[in-house]
Structures are given as C-alpha cells and as structure tokens.
C-alpha cells in the first residue's frame, strides 16, 4: 500500500451488508487507517441502519419508532458517510455518481475497492393497482405509514354509517405468508383488535384481518409442524387464512385476487419478495435473477476490486454449494468476509471462501408467542418468543438501542397500546390511482377536489336525468382529462365518472391545479376552453362557475 495516496474503499448501501463491511474494515485495517494509507467511505440514502427483523413491532407500538434504527456515524466512526442517493456506478471509469443534495450538483466518487451492498427493492411490477394502493413493508417509513394508516381506518370506521364502507375500513389484508408477512399480520392483528377497544362505535366482531398466501402452508422456510402451529395460532387469534390464494391487483377499495374474487379493504399490505435494485439492474456484469454473481471470495469475477454482498448478491456457500438466502444473518457474515478479504488482498495475504451455516430461523407471532428452529431444535409458543426477543436484543447494534428496546418491551407488558395517529405525510399534490372496470371514480354530489388525467384505459362520464337514471354523456381515453368542471368551479360534482376498462389515472389536487393555472396562461386558456365546451355539451346547462373562477384567480 502506498503511504502517499490512500487506497479508497467505497461501500454502497447502509444495510446489514454495507454497515458490517465498514465495521469490520475499521477493525481489521485499524493500523492502515491511522497511518492514512486507507480511507473508507459509505454511501446510503439514509444515515441509519434499520434493524428490519423488528419492524413488525413498530406497527403494534411494542417498541418505539426510532428504536429499530441506529445511526451509521456512531456505529462506524472512522468511515466517511455520504447520505445521498446513488444514481450510477461506472465500472469502467471506477466512479460512482451520487444525486444532487441541497444544491443542484451531483457528486462523483472514485474508488480502488468497491463493495456493492444495495439490497433489493419492493417491486409491484405486473400487478395493476398495487404500486398505487398497496402498502410495502421493508423500511422504517413503511412500518410507520402502516401503523398510521390502520389508526386512520379505525378513526374513519368509528364515524362511518354506511355498512359497506365500514366493512372495507375494518378489513386489513396482508399478502405474503413468508416471515415478514406472518410477523406483520400477527402484529397488525394484535394492534387493531387491542386499539379498537378505545373506539366507542367499533364492535370486535366487525374487524377482519386476512392473510393471503399462494401455497397451502405458510412459513415455507420452517419445518411443517412449526408452520402448522403458526397457522393454528394465527387462526385462534382471529386471523383469516386464505391459502392457495394469489393477489392479482388492487384498487383504493379492494384487494383483487386471482380468479376474480375481491376483498373489500382500505388496508392492503404486500410483502411480496423484492425485485432488483435499479442501480444494480443497470450494471453490466454477470447476474443470476437480477443478483450480482460473485466468486467464493465475494469478488465479482472479471472486475478486480469489485465485491458484492447481501440481498443484491448471488453467492454460493463454499461448504454446501447452495446459493445463500437473502437474510440479515447472511448479509452480516458476507459483509465481514468481504472486509477481511479486501484487507487480505491489500496485504497480499490469503483470502477465505464464504461459508456460513445459518444458526436458526425464528418468527414472532405476537402476543408472547413465536416459532423457532435453532441448532436443529424446534420450539414454539412462549419459549420460542422469549428466545426470539433475547436473540434479537443481543443482535441489535448499539447499547443505547438495546436499553431502549428492553425498556419498551417491559412497559408494553404493563401499558395499553398507543393509538395516536401521527400526521407525517406532506400535502399530496399529485398521485396515481388505479380503477377496475365498472368502478366509480367519483359520483354526482361528491366534493370536487381533484383533476384527473387518463394514462391508460377508458372512463365514462354520466349524468342523472330527472334525479334518477344515469345517462352517459362522454367517453374519455388516454390523454383526456376530467373532473375540471367541479374543481375549477369550486362546487360539487355535477356528473359521475366510472371506469369502463381497467384504468390508470393521475390525480392532481386543487392547490396544485390552481398553482399551475395561475402561472401558465396557455394551460389556463386550455381549461377555459375545455370547461366552456363541456358545459355547453351537458344535457342541462351548467352554472358557468368554472370560467368565472379561473378568470377571477388570474
């Protein structure tokens, strides 16, 4: 190693794989770091490591929101942290481009050694309506959104009188019977049933919690008897299991199942396996089902100095010859192994092939119960739950976090669950929505606060005649807009709109529309003409408010 130009080791990703690579490098290259021969840098979107195995407990509030995360700066004090999004990896020029931060400048970082640990991403591709209406469950923000969403549904149900709308609000659906889906449904079930006791108008029998799973037994990673135990326990607690059932799509009001069935729900969580990270997908290197193929030392063949670990890497275990599963246990060990091999390659010493026998598998089922298979031993119920908590408490990085979680767990045994709904969402100005054929987008008399642009599909505008029968007045397709008359006129909808086919639309709220119309005169003129034309086309003539309003706000 040269003492004048430090060797730069760049780690991409602040999850288990990336952080444990940095932690180990700081330890094994302590001397080189002190002498300035080596520098370590880590880039991640967030400045913290999320302890994902505990995310389901954030939903129920058993542990505090911030207790599942640990600041990377504290864990890796000798690593330079760049809290930025990675846009591109240029393997030829050995350069990584980071997105612009506060200013508008991108940042470029060169490297001598590169560790790619970018994990995978939630992907709803090929399932209509899921990216618009299903809640993912991977990051801390997802757990927080789900918790707030569930409380909001209970709040709305408490004051809703329409039985169909109530049923949708009080039905909670989780798709995916793997570990994260089962743990999420168990915590969600415990939480909504306990929280509902504080709502005067919600009866316990109105609550429905449903788990959808594509095979005939949940938790395929576990032995059959443990998975069956988990199934029985969930059912006893009131979770409805829908086995051999696949989710096919979603609307704002329903989960759509393969085969045509629909479950009316306002809360759909999807824990389907993730797809490849787009930054990884763009790389020109050997891959196996989107994961970067490494050799047994975790280096990418034909790319000297490039390593890959964690969920984004396809690694074959040297002792079993089997591909490593995407788990935190493996990502941590792979990170350590890559760090040791980088140090060995810098010193010219021997590297070690990656081999790791998983210590066991554990899944929490809420209510002081779990299932576990540890060192070949099968456990279920309270003992498994105690083991689950002990192991995860020990694994949680940082002493302060361990103390906080231990205190939270103790208090949770004594105190009722919190039902405070935190308003964390910023004002929405534009969103995507998906509608199934025949679904109402809005009805006559509704408040007109959104303008819609059709991306795909067809919709029909209908108007009531003599206060009863609805007659079609307009058919619209891709590129058309609707909803402008009530929105711009600041009055209720004067017609209803239904989707004729499966339709994807962009919805723009009142404030965003007004901002656009008041700053873009050609757009304002376009809408003035459109409202004039459409008001003139209606069977009963409109009140003309639309035109007045646009002009008065110029």
Ligand X SMILES: Cc1cc2nc3c(=O)[nH]c(=O)nc-3n(C[C@H](O)[C@H](O)[C@H](O)COP(=O)(O)OP(=O)(O)OC[C@H]3O[C@@H](n4cnc5c(N)ncnc54)[C@H](O)[C@@H]3O)c2cc1C
Rule CB under 6 A: which residues touch ligand X? 13-18, 43-46, 52-53, 55, 85-86, 117-119, 137-138, 179-180, 277, 279, 310-312, 326-329, 331
Tokens representing 309? 């670990």
Least distance from ligand X to the Cβ atom of residue 331, Å: 4
Task: Return phi, psi of residue 86, to 5°.
Answer: -90, 130
List the Cα angle 272/277/283 in 5-degree steps.
145
Q: How far is CA 118 from the centre of its chain?
A: 15
Beta bridge partners of 499: 459
Query: Closer CB to ligand X, residue 121 or residue 453?
Result: 121
Asked if 9 and 39 count as a contact pair (C-beta separation under 8 A), the reply is yes
Shortest distance (Å) from residue 139 CB to ligand X: 8
Contacts of 423 (CB under 8 A, 6+ apart): 148
Name which of 358 and 481 has its Cβ closer to ligand X: 358
Cβ proximity to ligand X, 45 vs 232, nearer residue: 45
Q: Residue 396 phi/psi, 5° resolution?
A: -60, 125
Give the shortest CB-107-to-ligand X separation in angstroms: 12
What are 26's two structure tokens?
A: 């700081």
Q: What is the 3-state secondary structure (H, E, C) of 199-229?
A: CCCCCHHHCEEEEECCCCCCCCCCCHHHHHH
Q: How far is the CB of 43 from ligand X (least distance, A)?
A: 6
Other Cβ atoms within 10 Å of 422 Cβ, number: 11
| Closest distance to ligand X from the beta carbon of 259 (Å) | 28
Whichever of 309 and 495 has its CB closer to ligand X, that residue is 309
Q: How far is the CB of 115 from ligand X (least distance, A)?
A: 10
Q: In the complex with ligand X, which residue's Cβ is closer, 17 or 249?
A: 17
CB atoms within 10 A of CB 82: 20
* Bridge partners (DSSP) listed for residue 474: 461
The three-class DSSP label of residue 64 is coil
Task: Name the nearest CA neighbour of 120 among 287, 355, 363.
Answer: 287
C-beta of 272: minimal distance to ligand X in Å?
A: 11
Residue 123 or 494: the one with the smaller Cβ distance to ligand X is 123
Residue 83: CB minimum distance to ligand X, A: 9
Closer CB to ligand X, residue 48 or residue 452? 48
Q: Which is nearer to ligand X, 179 or 450 (CB)?
A: 179
Structure tokens at 356: 């790791």
């Amino acid at each position: 190693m040269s003492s004048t130009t430090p060797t730069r080791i760049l780690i991409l990703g602040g999850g288990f794989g990336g952080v444990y690579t940095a932690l180990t490098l700081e330890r094994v290259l302590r001397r080189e770091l002190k002498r300035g021969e080596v520098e370590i840098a880590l880039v991640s979107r967030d400045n913290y490591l999320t302890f994902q195995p505990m995310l389901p407990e954030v939903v129920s509030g058993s542990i505090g929101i911030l207790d599942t995360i640990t600041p990377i700066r504290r864990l890796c004090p000798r690593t330079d942290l760049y809290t930025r999004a990675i846009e591109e990896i240029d393997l030829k020029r050995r350069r990584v481009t980071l997105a612009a931060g506060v200013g508008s400048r991108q940042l470029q970082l060169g490297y001598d050694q590169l560790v790619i640990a970018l994990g995978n991403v939630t992907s709803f591709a090929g399932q209509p309506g899921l990216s618009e209406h299903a809640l993912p469950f991977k990051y801390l923000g997802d757990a927080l959104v789900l918790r707030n969403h569930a409380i909001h549904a209970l709040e709305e149900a408490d004051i809703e009188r329409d039985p169909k709308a109530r049923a949708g609000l009080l039905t909670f659906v989780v798709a995916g019977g793997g570990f994260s889906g089962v743990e999420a449904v168990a915590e969600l079930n415990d939480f909504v049933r306990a929280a509902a006791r504080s709502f005067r108008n919600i009866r316990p029998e109105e609550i429905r919690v449903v788990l959808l799973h594509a095979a005939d037994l949940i938790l395929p990673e576990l032995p059959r008897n443990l998975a069956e135990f988990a199934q029985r326990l969930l059912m006893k607690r009131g979770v409805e299991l829908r086995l051999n059932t696949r989710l096919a799509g979603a609307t704002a009001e329903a989960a759509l199942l393969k085969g045509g069935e629909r479950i009316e729900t306002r809360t759909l969580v999807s824990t389907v396996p993730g797809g490849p990270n787009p930054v990884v997908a763009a790389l020109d290197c050997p891959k196996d089902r989107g994961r970067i193929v490494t050799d047994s030392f975790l280096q990418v063949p034909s790319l000297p100095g490039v390593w890959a670990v964690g969920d984004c890497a396809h690694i074959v275990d040297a002792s079993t010859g089997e591909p490593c599963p995407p788990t935190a246990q493996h990502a941590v060990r792979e990170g350590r192994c890559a760090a040791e091999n980088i140090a060995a390659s810098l010193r010219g010493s021997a590297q070690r092939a990656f081999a790791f026998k998983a210590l066991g598998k554990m899944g929490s089922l809420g209510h002081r119960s779990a299932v576990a298979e540890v060192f070949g031993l099968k456990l279920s119920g309270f003992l498994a739950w105690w083991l689950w908590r002990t192991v995860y408490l020990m694994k949680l990085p940082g002493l302060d976090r361990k103390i906080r979680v231990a205190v939270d767990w103790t208090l949770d045994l004594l105190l009722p669950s919190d039902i405070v709904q935190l308003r964390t969402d910023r004002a929405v100005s534009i969103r995507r929505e998906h509608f199934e054929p025949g679904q109402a987008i809005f009805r006559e008399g509704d408040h007109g606060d959104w303008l819609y642009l059709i991306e795909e599909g067809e919709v029909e505008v209908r108007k009531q005649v003599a206060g009863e029968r609805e007659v079609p007045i307009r058919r619209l397709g891709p590129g058309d807009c609707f909803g402008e008359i009530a929105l711009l006129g600041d009055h209720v909808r004067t017609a209803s709109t239904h989707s004729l086919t499966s339709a994807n639309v962009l919805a723009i709220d009142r404030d965003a529309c007004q901002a656009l119309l008041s700053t873009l005169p050609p757009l304002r003129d376009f809408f003035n003409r459109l409202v004039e034309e459409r008001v003139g086309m209606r069977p009963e003539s409109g009140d003309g408010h639309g035109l007045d309003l646009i002009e008065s706000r110029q």
